[in-house]
Amino acid sequence: MMIVVLSAGKTFGQVTRTVNLNITLSDVLEMTVNQDGAMTMNFDNTAKYSDGIEFTAVNQIVVKSSVGYVITAKEGSITGTSVLPTGAVDITPSIATGNNGSTADFDPFATSTLSGTEQAVITKTSSSWNGANDSNTFDVKYLVGKNGKFANLTSANNNVIPVVYTVTQP
Predicted confidence (pLDDT) per residue in 77-91, tens digit = 988 776 788 899 999
Long-range contacts formed by 21-24: CB under 8 A, 24+ apart: none
Give domain status of residue 19, yes or no: no
Give domain status of residue 18, yes or no: no
Give domain status of residue 42, yes or no: yes
CATH number of the domain that residue 86 is part of = 2.60.40
Determine the length of the chain.
Answer: 170
Euclidean distance between CA atoms 83 and 155, whole angstroms:
10
Q: How confident is the model over 86-120, as pLDDT tens digits? A: 899 999 999 999 999 999 999 999 999 999 999 99
Q: What is the pLDDT of residue 166?
A: 98
Q: How confident is the model over 14-50, as pLDDT tens digits? A: 999 999 999 999 999 999 999 866 688 889 999 999 9
Give domain status of residue 3, yes or no: no
Q: What is the pLDDT of residue 39?
A: 83
Identify the band that residue 6 occupies on the pLDDT scale cut at 50, 70 and 90. Answer: low
Domain that holds residue 79: 29-168
- For the cut 80, the answer to whether the pLDDT of residue 60 exceeds it is yes
Identify the band that residue 4 occupies on the pLDDT scale cut at 50, 70 and 90. Answer: low
Domains: count for the chain: 1
On whether the CB atoms of residues 60 and 91 are closer than 8 A, the answer is no
Give domain status of residue 137, yes or no: yes
